[in-house]
Chains A and B, each alone.
Chain A
Amino acid sequence: MQGELAVEIRGLRKSFGQYHALCGLDLSVPKGSICGFLGRNGAGKTTTFKVLLGAIRADAGQARVFGLSCSERWESLEIRRRTGFVSEQKCLYPYMTVEEVLRFTRPFFPHWDLELEKSYLERFEIDSKLKIPKLSKGYLTKLNLVLALCRRADLLLLDEPTEGLDPAVVEDVLQALVNVNAEFGTTIFFSSHQLHEIEQIADRVVIIDGGRTLLEDSLDDLRAAYRRLNFVFDENPRQAESRLRCYGPLLCEGRSVSLLVKADWEAAAAEARALGARLLDAQPVSLKEIFLRSLKGK
């Protein structure tokens, strides 16, 4: 099982003084998958990426990438040989030009794809003679993506990879990620606050909060498990509300009730009917609603 996982984290803990960033985090990212990594600000996503890269050491627990330990020096080096990373800040060297950053990075990765580099630079309209401080936030993001994609990594760790990009470029980037996953089997583990982007390309989702995993499942299973049930009551549904709340978060507007249910939605529908409701529909739920429900449920 360990060999089939690109990323495996068990009981990971990390504190910075009094601040507990990770409090027993558990998660797995299967090889060849595209996994969305969700959480509120300060949930521990960036800290998780830093542990995987070996930039910081966990206080307890285990983190492995392709079966290699992130805390062992030489294994961590091997992990970074096979990994592409885009940080949240997207900072690069202020004394270099675009061409100089590329020239500096290429030799570290023997499988660097020069043709792909050329095509991305053209597609993203990046002038290779520009100095890094002259790049706008969007262009800096694009350059970071070029640096990550062209190295033909086995794993891409992307922290908010589309932040600051216009919708057309976001589409390009998401397509590039899907292509690299489909063509080369590259595992992609990326965080984003743009839930629709995760819904668009991810086949797996991990939601964390307070340094712990709240939810981890394939996106299809999540969608199948959750339903939004919309009911109408002939009379005031106040009495029914208290009975139905045990199934999930409830929204009341007059005689209309909307209930977000996980798994046992048929039981919830049956009970609502027994209480005098008419079921209007049972709609699929967006990732945003699942995310918000997970946070409330915690």
Chain B
Amino acid sequence: MLWYKSWLELRFRLFWLLFLLLALACFLVVWSQELASGNWEAAQMFGLEPGKLGAAGLPAEQVVALASGLFVLALILAPVGALMLAGSGMNTQTNYGMTPGFHGSMLYTLSLPVTRRQLLWTRAALGGLCYLAFVLLCLAFLLGFYRLSGISLSWSTILAFLPGLLVGSLFYYSLAVFLSAVFDEFWSSMIGFFLVGLLGGYSIASGATTMEITSLMRGVSLLRGQEWPYLAAALWIAAAIVLILAASWWVERREI
């Protein structure tokens, strides 16, 4: 029944994410007008050079559409989705009220015949499944929207960007699980948003270098016609594994 508890904890947070999806839709509506006017200069904002938009072997408008959509996905939707859906199972979460302090029901949870690892892994797994569904939904939404706008992106084109997006999402989710294991709801959210802002800001300021995470998620290397960043992906996967293991270690050691 840990799955049941995890679902009850998660369900209202999924509604918040639908609002985020709505925000994506609004951005895309506004942005599609820019694309329709052939505003390739704006591609610089997404780490691309207007003069080299064809490097990926795609038409310029598809490149800019992908760059912009994945930009929003990588910098906002995926990280925020991770922060909202991750949980450690031990700390009770409210309906994203960002409540400070640990809820007293944590002692009730620990009085039940479950191990702390069961609590963590069940909650993290269900949150992870919901998160994966959310990321894929966002990607499908992006594809659907651009197709409706007349930009003919194919599934195979989109799927080429999926591995990078998933690796980055895995990292953000692991980070969110770790934060929720260590801190209360308020501080795990605050620190999480701070780190997300830091990583996103660095990505924009640095001009989207190959190794940093949002470049990986946005598929900047692919859009620039460069080789897929295997080393970067391996490092971020390793970081994700370390964070999850650290979360597991922390919940075992934690005293209340």
Residues of chain A touching chain B, judged by Cβ–Cβ distance below 8 Å, are 50, 53-57, 73, 77-78, 80-81, 83, 85, 87, 89-96, 100, 103-109
Q: Among the listed B1, B112, B255, which residue makes an inter-chain contact with A80, where contact means beta carbons less than 8 Å apart?
A: B112
Q: Nearest Cβ in chain B — how far from A20, in angstroms?
A: 15
Whether B107 lies near A95 (C-beta < 8 A) is no
Q: How far is the CA of A93 from the CA of B12 in the complex (A)?
A: 14
Q: Which of A77, A83, A93 has the most CB of B within 10 A?
A: A93
A-B contact pairs, 5 of them (CB 8 A): A55-B256, A78-B113, A93-B92, A96-B5, A104-B5
Whether A104 lies near B1 (C-beta < 8 A) is yes
Whether A91 lies near B103 (C-beta < 8 A) is yes
> Quick one: which of B1-41 are within 8 Å of A by CB?
1, 4-5, 8-9, 12
Q: If the complex has contacts A87-B108, A91-B105, A93-B105, are A80 and B95 also in contact, measured as CB distance less than 8 A?
A: no
Q: How far is the CA of A107 from the CA of B1 in the complex (A)?
A: 7
Q: Which of A53, A90, A94 has the most CB of B within 10 A?
A: A94
Whether B107 lies near A91 (C-beta < 8 A) is yes
Q: Among the listed A94, A95, A108, which residue makes an inter-chain contact with B112, where contact means beta carbons less than 8 Å apart?
A: A108
* Across-interface contacts of B9 in A (CB, < 8 A): 93, 95
Q: Nearest Cβ in chain A — how far from B98, in angstroms?
A: 13
Chain B residue nearest in CB terms to A100: B8
Whether B256 lies near A87 (C-beta < 8 A) is no
Q: Which of A54, A56, A83, A95 has the most CB of B within 10 A?
A: A95
Q: Determine if B110 is an interface residue (Cβ-Cβ < 8 Å).
A: yes
Pairs A-B, 3 closest by C-beta atoms: A91-B104, A89-B104, A85-B111
* Across-interface contacts of A104 in B (CB, < 8 A): 1, 4-5, 8
Q: How far is the CA of A96 from the CA of B93 in the complex (A)?
A: 11
* Across-interface contacts of B94 in A (CB, < 8 A): 94-95
* Across-interface contacts of B110 in A (CB, < 8 A): 53-55
Q: How far is the CA of A81 from the CA of B111 in the complex (A)?
A: 9
* Across-interface contacts of A83 in B (CB, < 8 A): 111
* Across-interface contacts of B92 in A (CB, < 8 A): 93-94
Q: Nearest Cβ in chain B — how far from A213, in angstroms?
A: 23
Q: How far is the CA of A90 from the CA of B103 in the complex (A)?
A: 11
Whether B111 lies near A53 (C-beta < 8 A) is yes
Q: How far is the CA of A83 from the CA of B12 in the complex (A)?
A: 32
Q: Among the listed A81, A95, A108, which residue makes an inter-chain contact with B12, where contact means beta carbons less than 8 Å apart?
A: A95
Q: If the complex has contacts A87-B107, A92-B105, A100-B8, are A108 and B113 also in contact, measured as CB distance less than 8 A?
A: yes
Whether A80 lies near B111 (C-beta < 8 A) is yes
Q: If the complex has contacts A55-B110, A77-B113, are A93 and B255 also in contact, measured as CB distance less than 8 A?
A: no
Chain A residue nearest in CB terms to B95: A95
* Across-interface contacts of A95 in B (CB, < 8 A): 8-9, 12, 93-95
Q: Nearest Cβ in chain B — how far from A191, in angstroms?
A: 15
Q: How far is the CA of A78 from the CA of B105 in the complex (A)?
A: 21
Whether B8 lies near A91 (C-beta < 8 A) is no
Q: If the complex has contacts A53-B110, A80-B111, are A94 and B103 also in contact, measured as CB distance less than 8 A?
A: yes
Q: Determine if B157 is an interface residue (Cβ-Cβ < 8 Å).
A: no
Contacts A53-B110, A91-B103 known; 16 new A-B pairs at CB < 8 A: A50-B256, A56-B255, A57-B255, A77-B114, A80-B111, A83-B111, A85-B108, A87-B107, A87-B108, A89-B104, A95-B93, A103-B1, A104-B4, A104-B5, A108-B113, A109-B113
